[in-house]
């Protein structure tokens, strides 16, 4: 299968912005193993700004655009250095692609991106994609969040599946942080207004995505004919079950053509 995996800042980094070594190393190990099994893997990785916060020893995530851009510039170096080093230990080559909203909205640029992505996969590389946060700052140039970016990448790559690794096990009947009786929904066959209403919207302190962005991503991806799964990034080994079609997290079924 061709699988796009999106990993959130809350999985890669502690609240301090420093790298969560255990989670990151386990993620790389599982993704490398999936590639060894014959799957094509594309990684959409958050974390540049969060890791920049840690690298620059800032007390909290900045609110002003200029400092966010500076954190992204520093953090992206740290992020790719870490991925390159870890994947290299399993004999896998990584490639970096940074995108803006213009790159996916503009037809010629989008085709160029698709061609590059396709060739990288043919060459056996593992593309690692992030938004170019050092230049994407407004509603024209910015994609906004990496759940949306991952959905766009999955559609551009004609992926079989998108997996969003987050700090939650999946979609619940209510917010599990505030409702102890909330139950995990293992399968969503149709994204109805009632399903959309289950979203709470807010992400973690370091991240930007919430359930609302994940459900919008699911709507985009399932409409293109691919499945999408939300699973807990603290347990990257769930990717084995997901790739094998076993139940893990919440699976959104691809919309079947009439």
CA–CA distance from 130 to each of 14, 133, 143, 258 (Å)?
Answer: 19, 8, 10, 34
Q: Is 157 helix (H, G, I), strand (E, B) or coil?
A: coil
- Measured N-to-C along each axis, helices 146-156 and 107-122 cross at an angle, to the nearest 10 degrees, of 70
Point out the annotated binding site. Answer: 6, 46, 133, 146, 166-167, 208-214
Structure tokens at 164: 């969003």
Which residues contact residue 207 at a Cβ distance below 8 angstroms, ignoring those fewer than 6 apart?
8, 9, 10, 46, 50, 167
Binding residues for substrate: 46, 133, 146
- Where residue 125 falls (left for φ over 0; alpha for ψ -120 to 50; beta otherwise) is beta
Beta bridge pairs of residue 232 = 166
Residue with tokens 């994204």: 191
Annotated binding site for ATP: 6, 166-167, 208-214
């Amino acid at each position: 299968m061709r699988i796009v995996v999106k990993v959130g800042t809350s999985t890669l980094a502690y609240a301090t912005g420093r790298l969560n070594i255990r989670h990151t190393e386990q993620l790389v190990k599982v993704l490398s193993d999936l590639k060894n099994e014959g799957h094509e893997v594309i990684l959409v990785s958050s974390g540049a700004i969060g890791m920049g916060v840690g690298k620059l020893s800032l007390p909290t995530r900045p609110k002003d655009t200029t400092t966010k851009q500076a954190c992204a510039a520093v953090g992206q170096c740290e992020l790719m250095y870490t991925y390159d080093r870890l994947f290299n230990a399993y004999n896998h080559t990584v490639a970096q692609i940074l995108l803006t909203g213009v790159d996916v909205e503009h037809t010629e640029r989008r085709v160029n991106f698709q061609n590059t992505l396709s060739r990288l996969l043919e060459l056996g590389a593992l593309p690692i994609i992030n938004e170019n946060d050092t230049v994407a700052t407004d509603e024209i140039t910015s994609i906004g969040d990496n759940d949306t970016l991952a959905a766009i990448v999955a559609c551009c790559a004609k992926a079989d599946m998108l997996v969003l690794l987050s700090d939650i096990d999946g979609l619940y009947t209510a917010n599990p942080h505030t409702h102890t009786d909330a139950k995990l929904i293992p399968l969503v066959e149709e994204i109805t207004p009632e399903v959309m209403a289950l979203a709470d919207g807010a992400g973690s302190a370091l991240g930007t995505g919430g359930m609302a962005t994940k459900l919008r991503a699911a709507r985009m991806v399932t409409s293109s004919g691919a499945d999408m799964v939300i699973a807990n990034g603290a347990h990257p080994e769930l990717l084995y079950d997901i790739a094998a079609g076993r139940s893990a997290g919440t699976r959104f079924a691809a919309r079947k053509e009439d």
